[in-house]
């Protein structure tokens, strides 16, 4: 049970909460209402030096810039073509700090990157990426960049009658091909950002039109529309997870990246969530102090 978690206040808070909601008494919650939701990037797997999905998109942007030289002076193609990972990572961090100057051109490029293909072809591209891509600084396959303690938490909750969902700002159709292998979460329990789809000639095709950016206040809206129950446990790590954690009626977990030796040490993009954790009594999960290991081998 939670073997990769150090004994201490955080592990105790989790175990005590699960005991209370699964035992007869004033806090008991029926199994059908034991819903737990987890952000993905930075909560279940690495998000630095950039989101894993951004690496997938970066490769596509570079291909497009190689085919069309006129794109090489425009962001984000310029960053992709020159290998400027800093620009891509900063664009997302600035978004969580309230500045969408760089996010707007990035989102436009994302929508154009993989449109007019079938959903099966898109899944094949994602699977091919994960079959060969490795983390740029950790040197690990991306499929080995999931956090072992969080996967243990998923299994622990499931063994106590919880239904666990991923509710992420990442692309729904980027996550679905790998979430079962990485976390044991099937595609139907993945809620994420998405583009519009059209049905034509017996196939579903992607478009370049946005459907949902599953972030911030949209997260509780999307999880309610998909799940139909208010979660009693929510886990996140950034300002984009605040509303999802606030919507949870029970235990709120905020993963703190404070381990530069085994992963990364940063709070950029999580400043507001850390303030709320302190004022609203959320449970902060310290990678450095609460986890005996970060990655499984």
Locate the domains of the chain by residue range. 9-47+143-290, 52-132
What does the pLDDT read at residue 120? Answer: 97
The residue-averaged pLDDT of 235-255 equals: 97
- 3 state DSSP class of 52: helix
pLDDT level of residue 53 (50, 70, 90 thresholds): very high
pLDDT in tens, 84-136: 777 877 887 888 788 888 888 888 888 888 889 999 999 999 999 999 999 99
CB 94 within 8 A of CB 100: yes
CB 52 within 8 A of CB 46: yes
Across the chain, what does the average pLDDT equal?
94
Share of the chain above pLDDT 70, in %: 100
pLDDT in tens, 181-230: 999 999 999 999 999 999 999 999 999 998 988 999 999 999 999 999 99
Name the CA dihedral angle for 116, 118, 121, 126, rounded to a multiple of 10 degrees: 80
The residue-averaged pLDDT of 240-264 equals: 97
As assigned by CATH, the class of the 9-47+143-290 domain is alpha beta
Where are the strands (E) in the chain, listed by range? 35-38, 163-171, 190-200, 203-212, 233-236, 251-258, 265-266, 283-286
What does the pLDDT read at residue 112? Answer: 85
pLDDT in tens, 265-295: 999 999 999 999 999 999 999 999 999 999 9
Q: What is the pTM of this model?
A: 0.92
What does the pLDDT read at residue 92? Answer: 75
Whose tokens are 């961090």? That residue is 93
Long-range contacts of 155-161 (CB under 8 A, 24+ apart): 155/184, 156/1, 156/2, 156/14, 156/18, 157/18, 157/34, 157/36, 157/233, 158/184, 160/18, 160/22, 160/34, 161/22, 161/31, 161/34
What does the pLDDT read at residue 297? Answer: 67
Taking alpha carbons only, the member of 4, 1, 10 closest to residue 292 is 4
Which two tokens mark 125?
A: 């591209």
């Amino acid at each position: 049970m939670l073997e990769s978690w150090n004994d201490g206040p955080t592990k105790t808070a989790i175990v005590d909460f699960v005991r209370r909601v699964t035992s007869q008494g004033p806090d008991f919650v029926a199994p059908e209402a034991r819903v737990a939701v987890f952000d993905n990037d930075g909560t279940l797997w690495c998000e630095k030096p950039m989101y894993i999905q951004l690496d997938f998109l970066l490769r596509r942007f570079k291909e497009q810039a190689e085919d069309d030289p006129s794109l090489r002076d425009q962001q984000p193609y310029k960053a992709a073509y020159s290998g400027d990972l800093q620009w891509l990572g900063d664009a997302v961090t600035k978004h969580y700090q309230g500045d969408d100057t760089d996010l707007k051109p990035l989102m436009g490029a994302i929508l154009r990157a993989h449109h007019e293909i079938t959903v099966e072809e898109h899944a094949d591209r994602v699977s091919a990426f994960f079959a060969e891509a490795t983390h740029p600084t950790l040197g690990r396959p991306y499929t080995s960049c999931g956090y072992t303690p969080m996967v243990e938490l998923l299994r622990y909750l499931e063994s106590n009658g919880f239904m666990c969902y991923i509710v992420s700002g990442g692309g729904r159709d980027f996550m679905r091909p790998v979430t079962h292998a990485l976390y044991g979460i099937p595609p139907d329990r993945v809620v994420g950002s998405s583009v519009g789809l059209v049905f034509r000639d017996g196939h579903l095709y992607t478009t370049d039109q946005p459907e949902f950016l599953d972030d911030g206040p949209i997260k509780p809206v999307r999880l309610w529309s998909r799940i139909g129950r208010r979660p009693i446990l929510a886990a996140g790590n950034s300002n984009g997870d605040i509303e999802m954690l606030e919507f949870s009626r029970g235990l709120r977990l905020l993963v703190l990246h404070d381990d530069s030796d085994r992963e990364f040490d940063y709070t950029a993009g999580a400043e507001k969530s850390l303030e709320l954790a302190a004022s609203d009594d959320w449970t902060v999960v310290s990678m450095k102090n609460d986890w005996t290991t970060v990655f499984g081998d």
